[in-house]
Amino acid sequence: MSDVTTTDLYEVTMAMSYLREDMRAPATFSLFVRDLPPGRGFLVTAGLESALDFLARYRVEQDDIEEFADALHRPVQDLEPLLGLSFEGEVRAVPEGHVVWAGEPLLEVTAPLPQAQLVETYLLNQLCHQTVVAS
């Protein structure tokens, strides 16, 4: 399993819908923690380096398409519009080791809508987990 396939299948079906409808305009999503854990007044950011590395390497390959098709019970050719897709967006983030509060964005991604959709789950998992561990 590649990092590309570490995503919710919902993200894949939405990205496919955006591509089918030619919805490729830039979109921005903000990754933040809604509520702090009990007894915590703040969090310490972590995981930015691995998130940026993931985005720099992001490219949907044939193996990824086949894994998505299998998981979605769809023909491989249905997912071929994703083949070769890479991340071409911009990232704004709080530097690692800085303090953040509930509702404050840890990271913001602006990218063509299908790209932003596909990277969301991995980024949420990486940054939120590493931030909680660091805090």
3-134 in CATH: which number?
3.20.140.10
Contact 18, 24 (CB under 8 A): yes
Task: Give residue 92's pLDDT.
Answer: 98
Q: What's phi and psi for 108, nearest 5 deg?
A: -125, 135
Task: Give residue 5's pLDDT.
Answer: 85
Q: Which residues are 29's β-sheet partners?
A: 109
The DSSP string of 52-81 is: HHHHHH-B--HHHHHHHHHHHT--HHHHGG
DSSP state letter for 84 = T
The contacts of residue 70 (CB under 8 Å, 6+ apart) are: none
CA separation for the pair 79, 66 (Å, rounded): 8
Task: Give residue 117's pLDDT.
Answer: 96
Per-residue pLDDT of the chain (135 residues; tens, 9 = 90+): 678 888 999 999 999 999 999 999 999 999 998 888 888 899 999 999 999 999 999 999 999 999 999 999 999 999 999 999 999 999 999 999 999 999 999 999 999 999 999 999 999 999 989 998 998
Segments making up each domain of the chain, as ranges:
3-134
Amino acid at position 67, single letter: E
DSSP state letter for 35 = S
Amino acid at position 51, single letter: A
CA separation for the pair 90, 28 (Å, rounded): 9
Does the reported pTM lie above 0.75?
Answer: yes
Contact 114, 20 (CB under 8 A): no
